[in-house]
Structure 1
Amino acid sequence: MKYTMIGAGAMGYRYGVLLQEKVGVQVDYIDTWQPNIDAVRQQGGVYASRDHEDRHLVPINIYTPEEYEGDPDVWMIFMKQMQLEEMLKRCAHLFKDHQVVFSAMNGWGHFEKINQYFPADRIYGGTALVATVLNGPGDVDFMGKAGAGSMEMCAMNEQITDVEKAMAADFDKAGFNPTVTRNFHGTCLAKIIFNSVANTLCTMYQIRMGQFISFPGAMKMTAQLVNEAYDACERAGYQMTRSRQEEIKAIEISSRETNPLHYPSMYQDLTNGRPTEIDYINGYIAELGRENDYVCRTHEFVVQGVHLAELAFQIHQKEAKD
């Protein structure tokens, strides 16, 4: 199958490069960040590393939405939530009835936007428990050993199709260890809850995942956030794909064993002066709770905590310049 990445950032590059290198399929890239586009075109591709080693150039084709004329079988969307609506508008003329779309973006809110352009039976959502860092324009670093991490995927209408099986086969060859499920909300919520702990706390305190999990109180903090999130999901009538203890264990393993040196994407946004996706992660969980007569007090608190960290970073940057 042919794939086109909408969003040539850390995750778009990781999926695209590994699909190219490990599976041998055609992958194109659409982006709107001009320094990234310029760097790729000047270099003749994107530089890819793994854990800061084996840096090599991977030839790729990158376009703006207005330049692109391709016709992929699968659109793969890896954008920041705040940027997605405008990108979809710019790509709308490219969407065709025979195409499907897959997204494993952080947070919640993107499926409603995608659903404006694709019907539910052509939308596939999922999770991606892999760590990646965009070092700069045209330069990406895959964190963790090859084949480490995992992902889940599910059709929005929860029907397993031949297209989904074909995607899963490609993802498996690329080393993403996919599992196909029949529980759309439960599958996607698992990643949101995962990120609501590791991404958020590492960002608030500006530490790596391994440093967080080595803190003696880390597991208590993890359990508090996970239990509160599960309470909200259960009150909303969503059945989760794994138990509370399995979710807590997944966070521990990823932080302690798989990606201990990783600064999560939310931290990367904070330290690069970009808005974080906190409102789409912990903020979504808090909103889900409120809609079902349950107050997620800890999630409500850390949403404001991350926004305060954003403000503090801006103040420190300004003071440093002055």
Structure 2
Amino acid sequence: MKYAVLGAGAMGLRFGVLLQEAGLDVDFVDSWDQQVETIRAQKGVYVSRDGQNKHLVPANIYYPEEYSGDADVLVFFTKQYMLADLLDRCAPFFNDTQYALTCMNGMGHVEKLNQYFPPERVIGGTAMIGTVLNKAGDVDFIGQKGAGSVNFANQTEKSDETTQQVVQDFKAAGMNPTLTSNFTGTLMAKVVFNSVVNTLCTMFKIRMGEFIQAPSVKDLSLQLINEAYDVCERAGITLLCSRHEEWEQVVAVSRTGNPLHFPSMYQDLANGRHTEVDYINGYLYDLGKKYNYEATTHNFLRNLVHLTEFTDKFDVDGFIDQVLEDNKKSEAANVTLDTKEDLAKFA
């Protein structure tokens, strides 16, 4: 089968490159000008593993408006808040036989995909694979070859020939796929994991291996896991594992799977992009509200991440200059601070 990866960021590149190295025909489609032009100019993407053995892998990449490849499976790997625009731009090359496969973080994407693809041609998935986009055209695969895994489920929860072929292709690519018959539970299991690891690592700007060593991490994690499971139980969602097994997965992935990895939410924050916290912790809180349950810890963390986004972009020097200017104009000021250095003492 032929694959087209729509959204050639860190994870999109990893999926596409591994499928390509397994002998599959793969194209990449992206709307980020710098990514497209860089990969074209260097005739491929630079790939390293844990920062080592950097090498150039050939890659065919296109803007949405110019792509005319007839792919059998479209792999969606954009950010949640960018998906609607990408779908609209790519719609001219969609057809009635293509399958949409996605392992995107968070929730909210399935409804958007169903505007273009019926449930019988949607495969949802999750990925326990760490990847970092160092810069345009340069990606780092975290973990040893064959590390990580993916879970797939048909939206109809009924497998078919195409789905079985996808599973075989991903096995050949070394991504350790598992096919389940629990669509929503499969997707939500990763949301719960990300609501703990991604969010807390982002808040404190630490790697997963650092996070799991903190003395308070178990209490923090279980509080978030228990709230998330309370939400899912009220919504009638059966997750793939128990609460305790979810915590054990947090430990295993953080300690041995991807200890050096900064989760994608942190990568977004560090690069000045919007995070997907509204589609992860925020989604859990909003879902709980529909069933008269408030996942308050998840909502608190969502707001803290937004505060971090704000403070990281805040113009401190401009703020100080403005306050000093306002202070000079105010005859009624009780305290006069004449210099930026004076004001900085109170910041």
Report the TM range for the smaller structure's normalisation. over 0.9
Q: 1:162 and 1:318 mapped to 2: Cα distance?
A: 60
TM normalised by structure 1 equals: 0.97
Which residue number corresponds to residue 160 of structure 1?
A: 159
Q: Which runs of 5+ in 1 are unaligned?
A: none
Q: 2:315 and 2:149 mapped to 1: Cα distance?
A: 37
* Cα offset, 1:316, TM superposition: 6.4
Deviation per residue, 1:188-218 (Å, 9 max, x gap): 0001111001100011111111111110111
Which residue number corresponds to residue 271 of structure 1?
A: 270
Which residue number corresponds to residue 304 of structure 2?
A: 305
- AA aligned to 1:138 is G
TM normalised by structure 2 equals: 0.90
- AA aligned to 2:263 is P
Which residue number corresponds to residue 142 of structure 2?
A: 143
* SS of equivalent to 1:180: strand
* SS of equivalent to 1:214: coil
- AA aligned to 1:169 is Q
Instruction: Indicate whether 1:12 and 2:6 are aligned.
Output: no
* SS of equivalent to 1:66: helix
Which residue number corresponds to residue 173 of structure 2?
A: 174
The verdict on how the C-alpha distance between 1:317 and 1:253 changes in structure 2, with shifts beyond 3 A counting, is farther
* Cα offset, 1:154, TM superposition: 0.2
Which residue number corresponds to residue 41 of structure 1?
A: 40
- AA aligned to 2:254 is S
Alignment of 1:48-197 (within 5 A): 48-197=47-196
Query: How many pairs does the alignment contain?
Result: 320
* Cα offset, 1:245, TM superposition: 1.2
The verdict on how the C-alpha distance between 1:317 and 1:193 changes in structure 2, with shifts beyond 3 A counting, is farther
Which residue number corresponds to residue 206 of structure 2?
A: 207
* Cα offset, 1:247, TM superposition: 1.0
Q: 2:98 and 2:317 mapped to 1: Cα distance?
A: 47
Question: Which stretch shows the higher mean deviation, 116-125 or 247-256?
Answer: 247-256
* Cα offset, 1:317, TM superposition: 7.6
- AA aligned to 2:15 is Y
Deviation per residue, 1:99-133 (Å, 9 max, x gap): 10100100000110000000000000010000000
- AA aligned to 1:34 is D
* SS of equivalent to 2:74: strand
* SS of equivalent to 1:233: helix
Q: Which runs of 5+ in 2 are unaligned?
A: 322-347
* Cα offset, 1:318, TM superposition: 6.3
Fraction of identical pairs, as percent:
53
* Cα offset, 1:220, TM superposition: 1.2
* Cα offset, 1:98, TM superposition: 1.1
Q: 1:208 and 1:145 mapped to 2: Cα distance?
A: 17
Which residue number corresponds to residue 257 of structure 1?
A: 256
* SS of equivalent to 2:244: helix
Question: RMSD value over aligned CA atoms?
Answer: 1.3
Which residue number corresponds to residue 29 of structure 1?
A: 28
Deviation per residue, 1:131-185 (Å, 9 max, x gap): 0000000000000111111111000010011111110111111111111000000
Question: Which stretch shows the higher mean deviation, 310-319 or 116-125?
Answer: 310-319
Q: 1:212 and 1:241 mapped to 2: Cα distance?
A: 24
- AA aligned to 1:236 is A
Q: 2:317 and 2:147 mapped to 1: Cα distance?
A: 39
Q: 2:318 and 2:207 mapped to 1: Cα distance?
A: 25
**Rg comparison, structure with higher value:** 2
* SS of equivalent to 2:117: coil
Please identify runs of 4+ aligned residues in structure 1 that moved more than 3 A. Answer: 316-320
Q: 1:91 and 1:107 mapped to 2: Cα distance?
A: 21
Which residue number corresponds to residue 340 of structure 2?
A: none
Q: 1:277 and 1:148 mapped to 2: Cα distance?
A: 25
* SS of equivalent to 2:5: strand
Deviation per residue, 1:22-78 (Å, 9 max, x gap): x20100000011111111011000001100011110101000011111000100000
Q: 2:74 and 2:51 mapped to 1: Cα distance?
A: 29
Question: Which stretch shows the higher mean deviation, 216-225 or 277-286?
Answer: 216-225
* SS of equivalent to 1:3: strand
Deviation per residue, 1:260-318 (Å, 9 max, x gap): 11111100111111110000000000011111111101001000010011011112686
Which residue number corresponds to residue 239 of structure 1?
A: 238
* Cα offset, 1:9, TM superposition: 0.3
Which residue number corresponds to residue 229 of structure 1?
A: 228
